[in-house]
Structures are given as C-alpha cells and as structure tokens.
Amino acid sequence: MNKDEMQMYLDKAGVLIEALPYIQKFNRKVIVIKYGGSAMVDDKLKESVIQDVTLLKLVGFKPVIVHGGGNEISSWLGKVGMEAKFKNGLRVTDEPTMEVAEMVLNKVNKSLVTMVQGLGIKAIGISGKDGGLLQVDKKYAGGEDIGFVGEVKKVNASVITDLLEKDFLPIVCPIGMDDNFNTYNINADDAAQAIAQEMKAEKLAFLTDIEGVYKDYDDKSSLIPVLTPSEARKLIEEGSIQGGMLPKVNNCINAVEAGVSRVHIVDGRVPHCLLLEMFTKQGIGTMFVKEKTDEER
C-alpha cells in the first residue's frame, strides 16, 4: 500500500471512529425527525435524507419521520380548481380542502415509504388517524374559525411504540381526528414536537431551510451551535429571532422543557445534514438542550 492510499484509508477510518461515541450514546433511542422544506423538493436531497435516516436505523437508533407536504397541497388544490387561502399563516381548511390535503399528504407519505423500502428497510406510513395516534382540538386563527385545522390534544404513543417493537420505521403524516372523528390538518412541526414529547424522545430534529439560529441574523458567521431555553428566550426578547423562525424556536424550547433531551434545527439544504449533525463533533446546526455541558459552554 502506498502512502496516499494509506492516508485515504486512515481518513475513512477516522470518520467512522469519530461517529463511535454518538452511535453509542443514542443506541436504541427514539429520534423524531420533522422532514420538510427544500429537503422534500430536491430529489438529491430527498435521497440523502432517506439514506441518513436509514443509516440511523441500521446503527441502532429508532427514527420516526413526521413530514409535511405544504407545496403539493396547494398545487393539487389548483388542479381540482380550488383556491388555497391562508389566515395568520394557517391554511383555511374547509371540508373539500381537507379532503384534498389528506389525499396529498397520504401520497407524499407513501412515496417516502417507497424510498425507505427501496433501501431495504421496513417502513410503514401512517397518519394520525391510525390507532388514534393524534387527537386534536380545533385551532383558531386569532379567534377566528378557519375550519379543520387542529392542535394536538393527545398523542397515543403506543401506536408508534408498537410499530417500533415490530422493527418498522414509522413515517407519519400530520392528520388527526377530533372527539367526533372529524379529520383535521395539523402543522407538521407541531405534530413532530407533540410526538417527541409524548415519547420522551432522545432527539427531535427539524429539517429547515436555514443553517440554524444566528446571534445576529445578518452575520452568517454568528451561527449558535448550542442554546438553552433561557438563552433562546433572551434572543427572542432582543429581537434576534423573529419571523418564521419564531414558532420553530418556540417548538424547540417547548420540546426541551417537556423532556426531549436534544432538539436540533438542521439545514436540510446540506446533503446528509442529519448524519453530519448527529455523528460529527462540531455538528452543522443549532442544538437546544436544557443545560449545557462544560464542553458546550
């Protein structure tokens, strides 16, 4: 073996060895991944996310995917001649809209199942209706009734536990039922957070279209690798976190405070972002924890 070959080999081995402590730490732990944004649109990224999740499963984690489907819903509403309406960022969802939304989300759901199965891993696609996984109350937009938009009231986590015990990789689309068994649309971030909380997941990762949380939003070099809830709240007060980031950061804060050990905002535009965040020392996004370790300070 020549020197260059040897170096290449050593580099390869180094990457695997670097992953060792993370694999060890999160072995047999539940990891909920909110899958959305660019990573659901670009085919290459899609493939890389699915590979990542598959690898996480293979090395002993218990990943659960929760996905959205926003763009496709609007596009299909168009196809059937309906108009997409929003109020306060929430989709106004009358019954026909809900019907289309459910069809589209299930289609997306099964396409993810197809991809995971294609990599030789046993996947199952469910919605929050199956086994009564997600029970909701109606959500109002500034006090106004906007139809079948739900907020999660109760997560029947045993549905997912059952599937994990049978070695399935569960893929969940964010649809739920109210007490009268009506169908509701749920924000995918909220659904992911609720499931992670109820399962006391070890990790919850939001795939987004940003790099993470910045100290100064205009300075891209000010990415914050680790944040506590109190630090995050301070950044909100100071106005560093605003706009679309606000609800996402609030989801992170809530999840951490409700018992999820680590919540990650990960840039879904980077190929294999999940592996890089979970298996390398520096990570690539922002991680929320209840308290920082000495090393993270």
- Which residues in the 115-154 window bind its own copies by CB under 8 A? 115, 117-127, 129-132
Separation between Cα atoms, residue 57 and residue 119, nearest integer Å: 12
Stretch that binds its own copies, among 36-44, 50-58, 194-202, 253-261 (CB under 8 A): 50-58
Nearer to its own copies, 120 or 143 (CB): 120
- Say which residues have a Cβ less than 8 Å from residue 288's Cβ, sequence separation at least 6: 226, 227, 228, 229, 232, 252, 253, 255, 256, 262, 263, 264, 265
Selected from 35, 45, 46, 48, the binder of its own copies by CB under 8 A is: 48
Residue tagged 């989801």 (tokens) = 251
Stretch that binds its own copies, among 34-42, 112-120, 242-250, 257-265 (CB under 8 A): 112-120
Stretch that binds its own copies, among 35-43, 102-110, 232-240, 253-261 (CB under 8 A): 102-110
Tell me: does residue 41 bind its own copies (CB under 8 A): no
The string of DSSP codes covering 147-170 is EEEEEEEEE-THHHHHHHHTT-EE
Residue tagged 């493939």 (tokens) = 47
We find the least distance from the C-beta atom of residue 275 to its own copies, in angstroms, to be: 5
Tell me: does residue 188 bind its own copies (CB under 8 A): no
Stretch that binds its own copies, among 29-37, 141-149, 159-167, 250-258 (CB under 8 A): 159-167
How far from each other are the two terminal CA atoms of the chain, in whole angstroms? Answer: 43
For residues 254 to 283, the per-residue mask of contacts with its own copies, x marking binding by CB under 8 A and - elsewhere, is: ----------------xxx--xx--xx---
Are residues 88 and 141 in contact, defined by beta-carbon separation less than 8 angstroms?
A: yes
For residues 59 to 78, the per-residue mask of contacts with its own copies, x marking binding by CB under 8 A and - elsewhere, is: xx------------------
Tell me: does residue 175 bind its own copies (CB under 8 A): yes
Nearer to its own copies, 101 or 235 (CB): 101
Question: CA dist 144 to 86, 93, 139, 156, Å?
Answer: 12, 12, 9, 28
We find the least distance from the C-beta atom of residue 94 to its own copies, in angstroms, to be: 16
**Total residues contacting its own copies (rule CB under 8 A)?**
71
Separation between Cα atoms, residue 123 and residue 167, nearest integer Å: 9
Question: H or E segment at 50?
Answer: helix 43-58
Stretch that binds its own copies, among 38-46, 114-122, 137-145, 245-253 (CB under 8 A): 114-122
Are residues 174 and 187 in contact, defined by beta-carbon separation less than 8 angstroms?
A: yes
